[in-house]
Structure 1
């Protein structure tokens, strides 16, 4: 049994509660993976190193508990969780959501608290109500001095809402006769504030040294007898001063100092003067400082001052830096915010406020970040501080999906870059890259600046040969110059980004897609994104992994692989569940189009997404709808939908529209548009040398060629597509089979159409699969049934099975999925039973067939 209680004095100490809860588990530390052990040691302040991500700390603690549970069942209880530090709460929530097959239980008790509810989102909860009339009456009558009439007892149960602690306190403080008199007179029931007054009255009867000692005990809050004794001695309070307070059962002093009721502590602290409270805080802070408890000392120092104090503000800032170094970014945010309040110098106070907001934003607390930003006189802010504030505002709007903030994000970030200029080249470049990210999110929805203006700013800031400079050079050239000039710069950027990822640095991970797709290299983008996600998992940066997986789904959809896209979205959803998040930040409406959702419904969702400022997703959804219209033979509608996308392109996002627009134009009789699209494809492919681009161009040629040349183009296109473009291969086989049927080669047609159907079923291209079935029937074949049966595996079981089929060990699967090896073993046993297999070799064979 592991049990702790949250205490106010530790509420700002990052991972403080987790350290106390985990002390009995130290013997198992060497049994968990190295990365998890390192994360726990850094979080605890034992070792130095890169600040760990909370999910990695959570996985380490989960592994510790699972290891302890392997020896004997382990139960953890955390009481008064409303006083637990933010980071420990996040870890507890993570552990609670990932517990499955371990012999471990976790119980967290708290009063209603927004922080606790947020950290434990998704964890089963029980709202504790009061005792019923019979049980409440029995408790009150059992503890009260004297005989209490049942009807009177029932009244008190009603008035206290059955709160057992309140009922016991009434029985302790008042006799049966007093309770009866109060009920008959219909006087206010002495609970809550009125009960505090009773305590205050009783306390006033104590000797002054005892009252002073009680204030020290109430202020210390953690119940540490040594801290209370040291502070009392420093204040000149006699060593035996606690005796009188113990005599009236206000407090007990044994291995810890404990108040009988929380309201007693509240009454003691509330009855003291402000000067007396501050004096006690100073004494406790001095003791904590002597013991090297920097965080506790900072807490008391802040409570001991009445107004701005530069020395205390500096102490809080040092504590914030220490918290940040351990990965406690929320604690850092709160400490810096308090430091800003106590900082006399306006410019320094503003700088600390912005730093607090940055820490909150890095922890994913976007609303808190906006709340912490400094307001008021702009002259108090340096240019760098103003730029940092603008960055927080823009990125918080992105995280919160705030429409106006989304649209203004690119312009705001460009302004931030202009503010710092040459003063901070690193911050300038960061702001411009974030502006690029904003531009790809909003596309034509952006206000206040244009993409061309962004390219110009990037070019101005792109001096040097480091990876950031190479990326800025590539993007600015892509935006401002012709395609032939941009391609060499884009290739240099891809190689630089690949080298950066090979070194384990994912700082620029979100910028790998643009240069790859601009070179018509979708598989290159997918490989770099998968590598980024792998590094993110190893570091526990699950929010970054979530973003990588969402982008991967978009890349897969752009080449028609709806099943792969759905798998990535499912994997991302599982990670968000581990973090306690709900829905996606933005719905992948394009995937819905591929999954058979009625197109009118998808259009409505797309319109809402567009109005919310997500122009990039809206464009992607428009293309997905058009592709499914092509599958259904609605060529005129697809042509009208794709026209604006192809003829008004947005950077690399429009290249994939060209072959789709060409196909729609050919089949709808718009030959001039088809020739325009074909020329654009050829121009790009001749310059970039993309194999996939050449395959798409060749497939397009086949659609327009006469019968003498068409077959050669079809065969060449099928051969050119790499295996990762299975849906594209299927579409080439589909139109080849349709052509063969038209020239009356029905047997050959069936062969190609059956291969196409296999490709479509494997990639989840529902619309094209239906079309292939109809064509097989028209070519004289029998109507093939839908071979894509319902998957018997849950999403988590499927992911475990896939990783195991690829040769991953249980420990490796656990680290990848952020679960314990026990849970992996549990899921694998279910997978074997459902698939009726008995070994990993059979599992590998089963998934290789798919």
Structure 2
């Protein structure tokens, strides 16, 4: 419809920019060759750089964005300059470089009106850049300010996604779930499929952390289907990471391997791709007790530059996995040296779950050196850090390492009790792989599993009431209404019942109810 050639080129470039922004990459890619044939300009290069970011091509994106910024004059064309800055913000996020993210975000916000899309998306992500460099108080303050000013619709979707990601990293997974669930839908709010996929990737991690593994698998499967449709390679490893880890823990090796293949990335990719890919490989190998593979998967992370974001507690849970693997292959001194700066940083940040996870590894080190009293104190401290956090997998994991360490030190009676606690936690989660490992540990320690089995008669009166209703087909909400309890309380009782009885689902609970009843 554009008779003027220059106008037509500008409109096509803007149209492709919008397609990338909403996540419609296949159509944007179809137009890319035509745009590449246009004369070089700041806008053209910025849009092509934007497309390269979403396709997970860091070298191409950097070249195009560098050219774009060099050719642009912020004084005469602030709108294009702000747009380039916003693309640099996304590039910095993908490289997980907090200082650059904040620098480019501040430039974008200073160049245009606060309601401009470039300023909105930059402001929404800047808090993550602050947090990635340890400035969590400033990050929280930034999001508190945004929550009072951001508009509904597409703008709020960006804010909710980023704040949910931050909440998860800062040990507030329940708040994170609310924020991320709000950022997933795109209908009726003119939201972006691209932002929705970011939200789904972190929602799956949040559901995993909270113990809602069925929800996490559902989220991953939905996001994976959408990724195939839109071709957003940047987020592929992040989405499939949770799928791989969850299926491995459940004992579904074929499904775990499928997700691992889809999560594959290399050092030449963005860190936001390589980090979750490496973690997926390491965590699946850890389930198999294949510690040399864990080390091979994570050792490259020790050389990534810059280090601030990679080592910042709460975002990427790799130091404890790596240190534990070093201990398990006999490299105890290496594990000790590696762990110290991570422990110091987590303590300085007062990050509870990070301190607990690192305590898990520190306890292993002390146990391997024969200092069982110090190991016991560290493991107990780790459990205290988790005491008020809704992180059941982390709690089971600490108990498992604690019990193994006690048993290897000859403390069989203590070890049996702790391993049994780990088994109950893993059983409630459906972590079949670790339930079997716990059973082997308990058997090696001499505990009679049959003697320790709990029957329905051993449940508390309220647990029995919940069990009867749920086994009869009632939903959690229906059971809550019948018993005048909150749904959350019913879920709490049900989780304990699952752990006590050693069942993993409502159908297994119903079967045992029929047998014991």
The TM-score range, normalised by the shorter chain, is 0.5 to 0.7
Which segments of 5 or more consecutive residues in structure 1 lack a partner in the other structure?
1-337, 444-449, 788-804, 806-831
Q: Which residue of structure 2 lines up, in the alignment, with residue 710 of structure 1?
A: 375
Tell me, yes or no, if structure 1 residue 421 matches structure 2 residue 74.
yes
Tell me the distance in 1 between the aligned counterparts of 2:175 and 2:63. Answer: 30
Q: Contact 2:244–2:259 at 8 Å: present in 1 too?
A: no
Q: TM-score, normalised by structure 1?
A: 0.44
Q: Contact 2:372–2:406 at 8 Å: present in 1 too?
A: no
Instruction: Give the Å deviation of 1:726.
Output: 1.2
Q: Contact 1:629–1:637 at 8 Å: present in 2 too?
A: yes
User: Given the superposition, is the C-alpha separation of residues 676 and 557 from structure 1 closer, same or farther in structure 2, using an over 3 Å criterion?
Assistant: farther
Tell me, yes or no, if structure 1 residue 836 matches structure 2 residue 501.
no
User: Given the superposition, is the C-alpha separation of residues 751 and 689 from structure 1 closer, same or farther in structure 2, using an over 3 Å criterion?
Assistant: same
Tell me the distance in 2 between the aligned counterparts of 1:462 and 1:835. Answer: 57
Q: Which residue of structure 1 lines up, in the alignment, with residue 402 of structure 2?
A: 736
Tell me the distance in 1 between the aligned counterparts of 2:328 and 2:476. Answer: 51
Q: Which residue of structure 2 lines up, in the alignment, with residue 89 of structure 1?
A: none
Tell me, yes or no, if structure 1 residue 652 matches structure 2 residue 309.
yes
Q: Which residue of structure 2 lines up, in the alignment, with residue 565 of structure 1?
A: 216
Tell me the distance in 2 between the aligned counterparts of 1:524 and 1:676. Answer: 35
Q: Which residue of structure 1 lines up, in the alignment, with residue 244 of structure 2?
A: 592
Paired residues for 1:223-302 under 5 Å = none
Aligned length: 441
Tell me the distance in 1 between the aligned counterparts of 2:165 and 2:69. Answer: 21
User: Given the superposition, is the C-alpha separation of residues 603 and 356 from structure 1 closer, same or farther in structure 2, using an over 3 Å criterion?
Assistant: closer
Tell me the distance in 2 between the aligned counterparts of 1:761 and 1:582. Answer: 37
261, 271, 278: which one aligns with 1:605:
261
Q: Which residue of structure 1 lines up, in the alignment, with residue 416 of structure 2?
A: 750
Q: Which residue of structure 2 lines up, in the alignment, with residue 727 of structure 1?
A: 393
Q: Which residue of structure 1 lines up, in the alignment, with residue 90 of structure 2?
A: 437
Q: Which residue of structure 2 lines up, in the alignment, with residue 533 of structure 1?
A: 184
Task: Pick the structure with greater CA Rg.
Answer: 1
Instruction: Give the Å deviation of 1:566.
Output: 1.5
Q: Contact 2:265–2:274 at 8 Å: present in 1 too?
A: yes
Q: Which residue of structure 2 lines up, in the alignment, with residue 671 of structure 1?
A: 332
Q: Contact 1:738–1:749 at 8 Å: present in 2 too?
A: yes
Please list the CA deviations of residues 705-746 of structure 1 after superposition, one character each: whole Å capped at 9, or x if unmatched: 322222222222112114332111111111122233334443
Paired residues for 1:477-492 under 5 Å = 483=133, 486-492=135-141
Q: Contact 1:631–1:767 at 8 Å: present in 2 too?
A: yes
Q: Contact 2:427–2:435 at 8 Å: present in 1 too?
A: yes
Q: Contact 2:356–2:385 at 8 Å: present in 1 too?
A: yes
Please list the CA deviations of residues 467-491 of structure 1 after superposition, one character each: whole Å capped at 9, or x if unmatched: 8676677667778xxx56x455444
Which segments of 5 or more consecutive residues in structure 2 lack a partner in the other structure?
454-465, 481-486, 496-517
Tell me, yes or no, if structure 1 residue 408 matches structure 2 residue 50.
no
Q: Which residue of structure 1 lines up, in the alignment, with residue 49 of structure 2?
A: 394
Q: Which residue of structure 2 lines up, in the alignment, with residue 353 of structure 1?
A: 12
Q: Contact 1:560–1:765 at 8 Å: present in 2 too?
A: no
Q: Contact 1:514–1:652 at 8 Å: present in 2 too?
A: no
Instruction: Give the Å deviation of 1:617.
Output: 3.3
Please list the CA deviations of residues 653-687 of structure 1 after superposition, one character each: whole Å capped at 9, or x if unmatched: 45421122222222323234322332222221233
Q: Contact 1:619–1:645 at 8 Å: present in 2 too?
A: yes
Tell me, yes or no, if structure 1 residue 638 matches structure 2 residue 297.
no
Please list the CA deviations of residues 75-125 of structure 1 after superposition, one character each: whole Å capped at 9, or x if unmatched: xxxxxxxxxxxxxxxxxxxxxxxxxxxxxxxxxxxxxxxxxxxxxxxxxxx
Q: Which residue of structure 2 lines up, in the alignment, with residue 760 of structure 1?
A: 426
Instruction: Give the Å deviation of 1:530.
Output: 3.3
Q: Contact 2:157–2:191 at 8 Å: present in 1 too?
A: no
Q: TM-score, normalised by structure 2?
A: 0.68
User: Given the superposition, is the C-alpha separation of residues 763 and 618 from structure 1 closer, same or farther in structure 2, using an over 3 Å criterion?
Assistant: farther
User: Given the superposition, is the C-alpha separation of residues 508 and 737 from structure 1 closer, same or farther in structure 2, using an over 3 Å criterion?
Assistant: same
Q: Output the aligned Cα RMSD.
A: 4.6
